[in-house]
Every structure is written in structure tokens, then in C-alpha cells.
Structure 1
Amino acid sequence: MDTPVLVTGGTGTIGSRVVPILHASGVNVRILSRHPHPAEPGIENVEGDMVTGKGLHPALKGVGTVLHLAGGAKGDDVAARNLAQVAKSAGIGHLILISVVGADKMPIGYFRAKAAAERAIADAGVPWTVLRAAQLHNFVLPVVKGLARMPIIPAPGGLRFEPVHVDEVAARLAELVLGEPAGRVADIAGPEVLSIPELLAAYWDSFGHRRPKLPIRLPGASGRAYRAGENLAGPGARRGERSWAEFLAEQSAGMRTGSASAGNHRA
């Protein structure tokens, strides 16, 4: 790949895993961030803001492929529209977006913004690829950890997740960057579909401190959508291999190693 690849969100949870893969593959990577910092050879950092559009034109200059990973609680649709407009005028050859499974089905603002971002990319007039991913293990963990600390744990019936390991998502994105535009590709999700009690049971197996659960029912349209599994990947999805329990074991082992290192340092 002769031209640089621009990665938005290149220092985030997924981006920090994708960038080294691309770099190791011989790709010149340019990272767009609001607060750039010095990088190793072959990786360039440029300043820009996806939501305001500041810095996008110079960031895309000379770029052949854009991997759009930057996202947040709000503004994903605005950021994608800004990127799509500049990508067209810059002559970008491949525009890749990571989205979320169920983007067009879940009646929740975050999902709706992701669906709008998908439409912006598809309508940009630039060859494109969209990958929908299930929730990362890293993002499910704080939710489960917060629940596990409650004296009595609310357990919404029908609320299920299929968490996927960040390294498997990063590897798939690297494949897409190095490949040809493919439109909407198969979703990527974890190997299991797990309820809240099942997520908690695995967490307790690794970290202990079991507490009683209180079954509840999620109200409204969002509750109906979750019970219908609208947030779950379809039968054609690509499934990761690393399970929730394996991820928790990694976290637990890391904590033990960190504690041991701290103890040795104090000694």
C-alpha cells in the first residue's frame, strides 16, 4: 500500500490495537486526534476534530484509505458526515467505518447515531466498507463490575450480549484496510450469547463476592428490542474464539501480576 492510511481514533481501545498491525504490515499510518503526540517512525500524528471538522482537509491530503474508528456517546453521526464530505473531495479510495451490531434496529440514541453514520459513509460517493461489531469485552466489563458491587443486583430478563475480544476486532479491521471496498460485511461478535446472570457468574468465578440477584423487566421499546435480540448478530456473523471467561481470566491474571510487582517494588 503506497499511500498512507488515516486512522481516526487511532489511540483508542480498538485503534491502539489496529495501528501496530498495520504498521507491522508495512503500512504508513497517519493518526488523527485532537491532541496529537510524537509517534514512532512510520506513524504520523496530525491534529483534527471530527465533530467540528477542524483539520480534516489537511489530514486527508495524500491519503488512500481512511479507517474511521473515532466515536463517543454523542456526535458519531455528525463526525461521519463531516468525514464523508471531505473524503469525496480528497479523492479517497476506500472509506471504512466500524459500527455496532443492531445499529438500524435498536430504538436507542447511540444506535441511531451509528445507523446515521453508516448512511453518511455509504452515501459519500466513495468506495466503502462497514463492519458492525458486538460490544467489546472491555466495554462490558465496567457494566458487569458495577452491577457486581451492588448489594442486590438487578438482572434484566432477556438482556443478552455477545462480547468480543478487541484483538479479534482489530485483526478483522486490519484485513479490511488491506483489502478492497466491500460494502456492508458480515458482523463480528463473540463466540457466546450471554445473559446478565451468565456474565455475572463468570465474573464471580474470577473475582468472587457473589451477591443475590433481583429479576427485573426492562420497560418500553428498548426493553422489547433487547428481549427480541435486536442487538445480537445474525446467523451469518463472523464469530470470535476468545470467550468472556477467558477475557476475565486475563484480567484477573493481570491484576495478580500487577499486585506482585507492586509488592516487590515496595520490598
Structure 2
Amino acid sequence: MPVLVIGATSQIGHFLLPRLVAGGHRVLALSRQPRPAVAGVQWLQGSLPGPLPDLPPLGAVASFAPLDVLADWLSGQQSAPARRIVATSSMSVLTKRDSEVPAERELIARLAAGEAGLARECRRPGIARTGLRPTLIYGAGLDRSLTPIARRAARPRLFPLPAGRGLRQPVHADDIAQAVMACLQSDVAVGRTLCMGGGERLPAAEMFARVRESLPFATVPVHLGRPLMRLVAALLPATRGPVSRLDADLIVDNSEFTGVLGITPRPFRVDASMWGMGGEG
């Protein structure tokens, strides 16, 4: 039976679609916009919370959409649209719940409510549910954290290096796609929400330094000490949350995830392709 991928054009979907095709699955991929043909993938135009195209009986759903939107869609179904659902949340539901920024707290409250709502809506028709909570995601040049920093350095050839002792554990989007595949193919993670980080913990300052080193052009490092970062946070409200966490550890214990799924995520070894860049000089 086919697998429906909601959020198929996301960074995780970028790696999941070819894995599904290689695994012999019939793939239905949902997108807001028309997409060029991909071997083994049937593109459907639509998005949640709007109505979806008519769907055949599904074997599974892999979703990277907001969890509350996914739960609302399930609540409107008369019967289970699929036997199994694997959906991603975020470790932010734990690491940012005490944020000093009200907008972040509101976002995390929505995320936590979405997790609970999805679990409830899956229990109602007896859908086998698995949740994944990844840390900071990278790898396809589609993230909104490291990739924008890398690309903004292209024109001025300046790279900001914020001071930060807090540990980070970035996880590659393809490792998450591999985890989704494992959850689709086995019952070992049914009913669980698994936290997932990358295979390496490193200080935030080192993470930014490695991004700079991976660029296909030379940049001048601009070291941003704590007084300057506090000034930036005061002038730019959108940066207050990230700046406040530069010395906080945003990491996860992978032992449950690895023990259940048998997957060991890769270390943080990056190159320009992971920011959507070629070899320009």
C-alpha cells in the first residue's frame, strides 16, 4: 500500500523520497505547488489544513507538517486514513519551554499541544503512531538556522562567529529520513516519541566555525563577544531567544533512540553542498 508524505518538499522529505522509492514503496508526495516528475513518486497538489486530493487506502503517512494541523486533519476523518503515522516534532518542546521570549513560549505550547493532539487522534481509530523529536536539522540547504548564516556570508565575505560555550548536537536530515524508514518498517517504536540528536556534541562556537570552514570561498571571521551579542539581542528582538541560549546545552541522550531503531547518527562533518552551495570562488 502507498505511503503518503506530507511535507515532501522539506529537508527531511528531500532525503526520504528516494529512500522510499529504493525500498519499493509506492510514494504519494504532497506539495502546495506543481512539481517536476520524479521516478517512483506521484506528486499530489494540496496542503493541510486545506482539503487533500482523493487518496487511495494508505499503508502509512510520514508527516513533517505542524502537528496540530495534522491532528486536525485526522479529527475530520471518518476512519483511519492509514495504519501507521510517523511524524516529526522538535526537541525545542523541551529545550525552549522556559524561554524568556513570549513568542517562543507560545510556539512551544503549540508544539506540545500538537504532540498531545496527534497522540489522541491516532488512538481514536487505532493508528500506530511514532513521533521523532530531532535537534537542529541541517544537510539539504533548506534549514532556517545554519544555511542562512552560510549564505549571507557570500556577498560581504564576512562570517559572524558568536561566542558560545553551550553544546550543540546538529542532526543530518538524511539520518532523520533513515529513522522514519525504520519506523515505517517495524512496530518497535509504535506509541513512542523518540528524541534524536546528531552523532557529535560540540560547543556552539565550534559549530559556527565549522560552517565557516566548509564554505567554498574565503571569509573574514568576525568574532562576536558576549557584550556585543547582548547589544544585538537588544536591537533585534528576533535574536533574543538564540542569543540567550548560546551558553546553554541543547543536546539529547541518543541511547533510547539508538537502542530502539539501531541507528547511529553521523557526526557534524559539513561541506558546501549542505548549504545548497557549489564550488564558487
Fold match (TM-score > 0.5): yes
Aligned position for 1:66: 61
In the superposition, relative to structure 1, how do residues 86 and 156 fare at CA in structure 2: closer, same or farther (>3 Å)? farther
Flag the structure with more relative contact order, 1 or 2, with Cα contacts below 8 A and sequence separation at least 6.
Answer: 2
Distance 1:21 1:225 in 2: 35
Distance 2:275 2:11 in 1: 19
Aligned position for 1:174: 181
Aligned position for 2:31: 33
Aligned mate of 1:100, from 90, 94, 117: 90
Give the match's secondary structure for 1:89: coil
Aligned position for 2:110: 113
2:159–2:212 Cα contact (<8 Å) kept? no
How far residue 192 of structure 1 moved from its aligned partner, in angstroms, is 2.1
Aligned mate of 1:84, from 58, 74, 79: 74
How far residue 155 of structure 1 moved from its aligned partner, in angstroms, is 2.6
How far residue 173 of structure 1 moved from its aligned partner, in angstroms, is 1.0
2:196–2:254 Cα contact (<8 Å) kept? no
Q: Does 1:193 align with 2:194?
A: no
Distance 1:172 1:204 in 2: 28
Distance 2:147 2:275 in 1: 14
How far residue 221 of structure 1 moved from its aligned partner, in angstroms, is 8.3
2:31–2:43 Cα contact (<8 Å) kept? yes
Count of residues paired in the alignment: 246
State how 1:224-239 maps to structure 2 within 5 Å. Answer: 227-229=247-249, 231-234=250-253, 236=255, 237-238=257-258
Distance 2:51 2:29 in 1: 14
TM superposition score normalised by structure 1: 0.75
Identical-residue share of aligned pairs (%): 22
Q: Does 1:54 align with 2:19?
A: no
Aligned position for 1:19: 17
Distance 1:158 1:234 in 2: 19
2:161–2:208 Cα contact (<8 Å) kept? no
Deviation string 1:241-260 (CA, Å, 9 cap, x unpaired) is 5333x21365599622xx49
Across the aligned residues of Structure 1 and Structure 2, the Cα RMSD in angstroms comes to 3.4
How far residue 24 of structure 1 moved from its aligned partner, in angstroms, is 1.1
How far residue 39 of structure 1 moved from its aligned partner, in angstroms, is 3.3
The one-letter amino acid paired with 1:198 is: E
TM superposition score normalised by structure 2: 0.72
Give the match's secondary structure for 1:212: strand
1:18–1:171 Cα contact (<8 Å) kept? yes
Distance 1:49 1:250 in 2: 28
1:97–1:121 Cα contact (<8 Å) kept? no
Gaps of 5+ in 2: 98-103, 235-239
Aligned position for 2:225: 214
Distance 1:222 1:254 in 2: 25
2:197–2:254 Cα contact (<8 Å) kept? no
In the superposition, relative to structure 1, how do residues 251 and 119 fare at CA in structure 2: closer, same or farther (>3 Å)? closer
How far residue 69 of structure 1 moved from its aligned partner, in angstroms, is 1.4
Greater displacement, 206-215 / 154-163: 154-163
